[in-house]
A and B are shown apart, each in its own frame.
Chain A
Amino acid sequence: MVCYNIYIFNRQGACIYYHEWFRPKSVKQGAGTLADDQKQMFGLFWTLSNFCATLDPKDTSKQQLGAPRKIGQGCRFHSFTTNNYKMHFLETPSGFKLVLNTGRDTGDARELLGALYDELVVERCIKNPAYVPGSPITSLDGFTPALTAFLKQRGALVAAQPGH
C-alpha cells in the first residue's frame, strides 16, 4: 500500500496539517498553490458529504440539497476511488477532518484513520499543553516522524516509492 499525502482540517475548515510522501503530479499542475489545493480539497469533501446526505436511500427524513447540515447528521461517505488513487475520509464528532490519499488497491482504511486520530492527533496535539488549538500542527516537533513511523508500522507506507 502506498500513501501519497495527508490533510488534517479543523472544525473551522482551516487546514492545520499537510504532509506528502510521494506526489508525482506537482501542486502547480493541479490547483496552483498549496493553499488553493487545500481549499479545493475541503470544498470537494464538503460537497461530497452534502451530496451523500441527499442521495441516502435509507433516510426518510432527509432535507433538501443545500440545507445546513450538522456534523454527523445524515449519511457520510468514507472513501472514493479513481482510476489511479483512493481517497479516505474521516470526520470526527469534534469536527476534525482527516483526508488520506493512497494507492488504488488499498482496502478499507477507516480503522487506520481512526487509530491515526486516536494515537497521533489526540495524544500529541490535543493533549499537548504547548499546542494552541486552531494553530498548524507543523509547529509541533516530532509529529511528522511519528506519523511516518505509525504508517510504516501499519504496513501502510512502502519504503521505496519511485517506479510505481
Chain B
Amino acid sequence: MSIYSMYVISKSGGLIYNKDFADIAKVDTNDALRLASIWHSLHAIAGQLSPVPGCTGIELLEAETFNLHCFQTLTGTKFLLVVEPNAPYIPAVLQRIYELYADYVLKNPFYEVEQVIKCELWDEALEALVRRQGAGPGGLVMGGSGAAASMYG
C-alpha cells in the first residue's frame, strides 16, 4: 500500500482531519495535533528563509522511510499525504482529494469551515480513492469517483 496516511490542516494551522490507511506505526491523536501545527509553522518559515523571492512553502519532504507531499490551496488549507518513497502520481492524487473535499465537505450544508471534518461521504470517497490508487496507477487516470464524474456528464 503506497499511501500511509493523510492529514488536512485548516488555514489557521489546526488539524481538521487525519486518517491512517495502513497498519504501520500510527501516530496518536495528541501527537497528530501537534504535528499539524508544527507543519503549519515550518511551511511558513521555509518560505521566509527562501533565498529566492516568491516561495509559497514546502511541497515535498523526503526522508529515509517515507515522503510527505503537501498541497496548499489558494485559501490556505493544506492537504498532507504521507507515502512510501517511490509512490507514483501523488500530485494528481492530491488534486483529486481537493476535488473530493470541495464536493463532499464544503458543499455539505452542515459543515462549518475550519471545523473538524465529520462527513460520511467524504470518508467513503477518500477510502475508495486510496484503494484504487493502491490497486494500480490506471485507476486514478481513468476516472474519478461515481458521483463527481456523473456531475460532469
Contacts and interface: CB of A to CB of B under 8 A. Distances in A.
Given A52-B63, A75-B63, A44 B55 contact: no
Given A51-B35, A58-B25, A65-B35, A82 B50 contact: yes
Interface residues of A, number: 43
Given A75-B65, A85-B51, A80 B25 contact: no
Interface size class of B (residues with CB under 8 A): 35 or more
Given A65-B31, A80-B46, A59 B25 contact: yes
Given A55-B66, A65-B31, A4 B82 contact: no
Given A83-B59, A84-B52, A44 B66 contact: no
Contacts of B5: 57
Contact of B51 (A5, A47, A62, A81): A5
B59 A47 contact: no
A52 B4 CA distance: 14
A82 B58 contact: yes
A112 to B, nearest CB: 15
Contact of B38 (A41, A47, A87): A47
Interface in A92-114: 101
A65 B70 CA distance: 20
A81 B65 contact: no
B113 interface: no
B47 A82 contact: yes
B97 to A, nearest CB: 19
Interface string B49-84: 111111111111111111010000000000000100
A72 B145 CA distance: 43
Nearest to B54: A84
A51 B55 CA distance: 22
16 contacts: A4-B52, A44-B46, A48-B61, A54-B27, A65-B38, A78-B62, A79-B61, A80-B58, A80-B60, A81-B58, A83-B56, A84-B54, A84-B55, A85-B50, A85-B52, A85-B55
Interface of B: 4-5, 22, 24-25, 27, 31, 34-35, 38-39, 42, 45-66, 68, 82
Given A57-B82, A77-B64, A82-B47, 11 more contacts: A29-B53, A40-B48, A47-B42, A51-B38, A56-B63, A58-B65, A81-B59, A81-B60, A83-B54, A83-B55, A84-B52
Interface of A: 4-5, 20, 22-25, 29-31, 37, 40-41, 43-44, 47-48, 51-52, 54-60, 62, 64-66, 75-85, 87, 101
